[in-house]
Amino acid sequence: MRKQVIVIGGGIAGLSAAIYAGRSGFDVTLCEQHSIVGGMCTSWRRKGYLFEGAIHWLTGSSPKTQVYQMWKETGALDDTVKIYLHDIFRSIEWEGKILNLYRSIDTTAEHLLVLSPADEKEIRRLVKRVKTFTRLEMPVMDIQGVKARNPKPMPLGYILKALPAIIILARLGKLSCTDYCNRFQHPGIRKLLACIPGDFSASSILFTLATLNMGDGGYPEGGSLAMTARMAETFKNLGGKLLLNTEVKKVVIENGAVTGVQLENEILPANAVIVTQETIAALDRLFDTPLHDAWLRELRETTKLIACTYISMGVRAELPETIPEWQLDEPIRYADTKITEIGFGTYARYAGYAPGGCAALTTALMGDTWHFWKKAKEEGRYDEEKRALAEQISRAFCRKYPQAEGNIEVMDIATPLTYERYAGAYHGSWMTLMEPGHKMAQAYPGFAQDVHGLYFAGHRIIPPGGHPAALASGRRAAQMVCRQFDAVFV
């Protein structure tokens, strides 16, 4: 009789775990509390506009990368899915000029050298480091002790190939992004390179630029909804059972082993359970008795959260395909925060995101504002605070682009409480902050030492997170299940 595996959570990690476990011979049931799969990897429609909520550039979208193979194996990407690779990654306004961060680091360097010859030495050093970091690709490997139909050991020569980047990482990993950007004399260059929040490790900038420079980090046609729908279809075609609108109340544990999961009115039996709901929230919700693994305690106590308030705007007006970030003449104030500059992603290049002659725009106001929004909700001010923020953003945008005045048809605000409600994310957080001095991301063990058959996957398990980390963690959890039952991983 085939073993029963239950996966909790239908995001990237859950879909990955379910697909790999199903392909490896298990009967898999995936429980997702929302009406669609995707979790944090999602998009939404409002009044004829489609707003992309997760994928702005996707690591592993290039067939040259090892991560692409996992996207292909799970059905997320294939040779028929168009990948958009635009030359300009980021634009800002600076003293009447438009400064661009290009996909090609050489093109970026030429642009910056014209702007600031005095920064030539640091610009050349940036180019060299970015090209070195292209060797530091995320490897796809098997866990120890698993039997695999197509084994993937550590690639020969990987460490030697990556060693120069590792040496740079050891040095720059001690700096924040702000510290690194301040090495450049020109304030416009400092601002342009601040494509990653300032309190991240400086290595984040190099990883980002290296990904773009190697021809990776594209945008898949159809975005989040299309990609996760393809993964769900792959799972169902393997015979998997997908239960939407199904909230798991708790994991049932008897005599030190999982025996199933408790739903609203029934218990689903299982030989193994893979928890892919956001890990901190899952620990608080799914277990009658707290788990005592040291790694789970460390994860809970040391995780620094990354969250945002996400703004989506539909405008009936002709707008530029690229909207550079600009300095506001009047700051936007909310949650004890002052926003002095803002930029928008626009989807004008893609069909189906907005009606003709219109534009779908998004921007993220970074910061952990969960407590602010929570208090507003409790005091009955939640909708009022969202309206006040929407009005400030509308005014700022219309001052910059007068043609939008009176033509903003949709203004949608997703707060950390929104992410918490729809995706079960702890405090609405979608990544883990890797601070300066933090060692290069290492995966947490991902299994409960004292509970047989209990596994974890998701963006928290391989910090700092992101879609490739969630994808890889699901694959890894499926391999652990295979190892438990001496099954061959496919």
pLDDT single digits (tens) 64-93: 999 999 999 999 999 999 999 999 999 999
The pLDDT, as a whole number, for residue 456 is 98
Question: What is the average per-residue pLDDT within 434-454?
Answer: 82
Q: Distance (Å, rounded) from C-alpha 35 to C-alpha 2? A: 28
pLDDT score, position 436: 75
pLDDT in tens, 251-290: 999 999 999 999 999 999 999 999 999 999 999 999 999 9
Spatial separation of the C-alpha atoms in residues 276 and 283, rounded to whole Å: 11
Helix runs in 87-186, H state only:
105-115, 120-133, 158-172, 177-181
Q: Per-residue pLDDT tens for 23-68?
A: 999 999 999 999 999 999 999 999 999 999 999 999 999 999 999 9
Cα dist from 258 to 161, 250, 271, 435, 444, whole Å: 42, 11, 7, 36, 20
**pLDDT for res 173:** 78
> Is the predicted pLDDT of residue 440 greater than 80, yes or no?
no
Residue 406 has which token pair?
């009176």
- In this structure, what token pair is assigned to residue 188? 């416009």
Q: Which pLDDT score, from 0 to 100, does residue 390 have?
A: 97
DSSP 3-state helix, strand, coil percentages of the chain (rounded to 5)?
35, 25, 40
Whether 469 has a pLDDT exceeding 80, the answer reads: yes
- Helices 12-23 and 467-484 pack at an angle, to 10 degrees, of 30
| pTM across the whole model | 0.95
What pLDDT, in 10s, does the model give residues 99-152? 999 999 999 999 999 999 999 999 999 999 999 988 888 889 999 999 999 999
Q: How far is CA 8 from CA 186, 218, 450, in A?
A: 49, 29, 20
What tokens appear for 15 in the block? 């879909």
Q: Are 44 and 51 in contact (CB under 8 A)?
A: yes
Has residue 441 got a pLDDT over 60?
no
Q: How many CB atoms lie within 10 A of CB 381?
A: 13
Q: Cβ distance 222 to 425 under 8 Å? A: no
CB 478 within 8 A of CB 24: yes
**Predicted pLDDT at 316:** 96
- What residues contact 339, with CB distance under 8 A and at least 6 apart? 328, 331, 332, 333, 365
Share of the chain above pLDDT 90, in %: 84
Structural domains in the chain? Answer: 4-42+57-79+221-302+436-489 (3.50.50.60), 86-137+153-214 (no CATH), 308-428 (no CATH)
Q: Decide: 474 and 15 in contact? Cβ < 8 Å.
A: yes
Average pLDDT, the chain: 94
A 10 A CB-CB count for 350 gives 17
Q: What average pLDDT score do residues 343-365 get?
A: 92
Question: Which residue type, as a one-letter code, is found at position 393?
Answer: I
- Crossing angle of helices 370-378 and 416-423, rounded to 10°: 80
Residues 308-317 have pLDDT tens digits of 999 999 999 9
For position 11, what pLDDT does the model report? 97
User: Torsion angle, CA of 122/128/131/137, rounded to 10 degrees?
Assistant: -90
